[in-house]
Structure 1
Amino acid sequence: MMNKPEVLVPAGTPEKLKVAIDYGADAVYIGGERLGLRSRANNYSISDMAEGAAYAHSHGAKVYLAANIVCHENELEDNISYLTEVRDAGVDALIVSDPAIISAVLTKVPGLPVHLSTQASAVNYEAVNFWAKHGLERVVLGRETTFEEIKEIKENTDVEIEAFIQGAMCTSYSGRCVMSNYMNKRDANRGGCAQNCRFLYNLADESGSSLNGDEMFTMSAVDMSLIPVIGQMISTGVDSLKIEGRMKTIHYVSTVANVYRTAVDTYCADPEHFEVDPAWIDELAKISQRRMSFGFFNGAPTKDDELFEHTKPDLGYEFIGEVKGYQDGRVIIQERNNFSEGDELEFYGPNFYHYLTTVNDLQDEDGMKIERASHAMMICSIAIDKELPVGTMIRKKKAAKVRA
């Protein structure tokens, strides 16, 4: 029997958690107020976790908490009670890299499964089996694994395997970077990465004279997207397909969840005749991201997988808002970005639903005619002859431009 992999989507806020699940995620991963690597994110309180877990479980989904920080001395004991609260809030598993936290959870917080974080750089089945023997239920592979390596790992292990399929790559091995700490005193391994690899640099000789004129460059990697080879990835037998991006918007979250849910369901319905739908690739091109590559999937990346240039084309789409209701032939919208009478809007929803319409008879919340919805989060409405479900997202195509 074929193993249908879980679609695992980032959920940086409670709002994003609900969006991810509504748009097809089997599971989400979140960050708490302690022990995570996104210290500047809007992280979850214990009550947020409990609410999110209840919502997820009511929809047949799971919630995992990233606790993949590197602990220093005297920090661990203070967090045992916190992790007990996490378990009691209904979180389904903890994502950890530090062996001290792993040991503490397994011995002092029974009933809270542990998944090995990608920060631990597991890229061979011997390492995976080591962690399995120590009680871990799942291993998140390092992004540096190839298709052939993932297959070999899965064939030689009994533990669940999770692998990345979409999102940012790191210029350092599995995120083990000290550049941010050295340059900004912000430790990437303790939640403070300043993303120095994405800064603009110039090359100079010992005297300080530029060796490349006024040209500036970055040292970062392009993003990963495996949708063109998603059938191959599923065929490896991995248990979970992970999408990066806890700091991304609900536009990103809804889009990636929608695309990969559709792709996985399509493949599993008929693997023998599976073909990648070009519409999936086009859909992912509408969200904010860097240039894309396959990462390490087909082998070691080349210079073409590095983002040296400091400009990139604007993707040409902006997120407009969300449908909040439908009444008397009008769709009610909560606006996130400006749009005007006469603009063409694209509505999209779960199950890869899409609908195009032109803005007609734009009105504010009081029913007054307006030419432009110009205030973020304002409630407005347009005339439309089709009822669209609450939670349907809206985007607008705009003129392409080059941005720094």
Structure 2
Amino acid sequence: ELIDANIDAFKIEGRMKDPVYIRTVAQCYKEALDCFYENTYSEEKVRSWLERLSKVFNRGFHTGFYFHRPTVEDIELKKRGNISAYKKSYLGKILSYDENSKSANVLLENLEDPLLLGDEIIITGPTTYMIETIKKMIYKGEKVKSITRKRYSIPVRINLRLNTEAKTNDKIYILSKNSKL
């Protein structure tokens, strides 16, 4: 309806949001617009976009003033603050990156839950932003499927395979289900 109304720009609220939020929202909007013009827009894609959007900081979704004047029910939140289905927790930092092996030496400083193959991590820094799925972990020269802090009393050094270059001191976060909802 908005495209049919000849709206040629959409404002995405990004003030005080982290790069993960801005990237995810911009990607979902762009994909939705592209699908509309390519005539491939579907309910399945909408569900996929909403699932991706639920992983980033959000206060819920509504249409704002686009289709009607908001009522108290539209504006009043059942919960205050972030209602994302996922939370971003600090894990550690990059110690070094080897371009040849495409792997990083990592210091895990805050490992509350086991880190598993297949977990999604976010790596950020002054010039770095990436989301990676853990496909390979090495601890003390051995491939491992998980790392648990309970087995180690001090910060854990591991090696992770990455698709993109990371910089020394880049921060590593993990996305996990938000149990507080």
TM over 0.5: yes
Residue identity over aligned pairs, in percent, reads: 21
Q: Check conservation: 1:251, 1:319, Cα contact below 8 A.
A: no
* Equivalent-residue separation in structure 2 for 1:233 and 1:334 (angstroms): 47
Say yes or no: does 1:315 pair with 2:85: yes
Change (3 A) 1:355 1:310: closer
Q: Which aligned pairs between 1:390-401 and structure 2 lie closer than 5 A? A: 390=165, 395-401=174-180
Change (3 A) 1:326 1:288: farther
Say yes or no: does 1:346 pair with 2:125: no
Tell me the CA shift for residue 382 of structure 1: 3.3
Tell me the CA shift for residue 296 of structure 1: 2.2
Larger radius of gyration: 1
Tell me the CA shift for residue 290 of structure 1: 0.9
* Equivalent-residue separation in structure 1 for 2:19 and 2:61 (angstroms): 20
Where structure 2 has 5 or more consecutive residues not aligned to the other structure, the ranges are: 123-129, 141-146, 150-156, 167-171
Q: Check conservation: 1:317, 1:398, Cα contact below 8 A.
A: yes
Say yes or no: does 1:330 pair with 2:103: yes
Q: Which aligned pairs between 1:211-290 and structure 2 lie closer than 5 A? A: 232-268=1-37, 270-271=38-39, 273-276=40-43, 277=45, 278-290=47-59
2:154 aligns with none
TM-score (norm 1): 0.30
Change (3 A) 1:275 1:389: same
Q: Check conservation: 2:90, 2:174, Cα contact below 8 A.
A: yes
Q: Check conservation: 1:342, 1:358, Cα contact below 8 A.
A: no
Deviations 1:120-179 (CA, angstroms, capped at 9, x unpaired): xxxxxxxxxxxxxxxxxxxxxxxxxxxxxxxxxxxxxxxxxxxxxxxxxxxxxxxxxxxx
Change (3 A) 1:358 1:297: same
Amino acid at match of 2:163: L
Where structure 1 has 5 or more consecutive residues not aligned to the other structure, the ranges are: 1-231, 364-369, 373-379
Tell me the CA shift for residue 284 of structure 1: 0.7
Amino acid at match of 1:275: S
Amino acid at match of 2:32: A
* Equivalent-residue separation in structure 2 for 1:330 and 1:307 (angstroms): 46
* Equivalent-residue separation in structure 1 for 2:28 and 2:158 (angstroms): 28
Q: Which has the higher helix share?
A: 1
Change (3 A) 1:333 1:300: farther
Q: Which aligned pairs between 1:3-402 and structure 2 lie closer than 5 A? A: 232-268=1-37, 270-271=38-39, 273-276=40-43, 277=45, 278-311=47-80, 313=83, 315-318=85-88, 327=99, 328=101, 330-331=103-104, 338-339=110-111, 342-343=115-116, 344-346=118-120, 356-357=133-134, 360-361=137-138, 382-384=159-161, 387-390=162-165, 395-402=174-181
* Equivalent-residue separation in structure 1 for 2:134 and 2:59 (angstroms): 29
Classify the secondary structure of the residue corresponding to 1:295.
coil
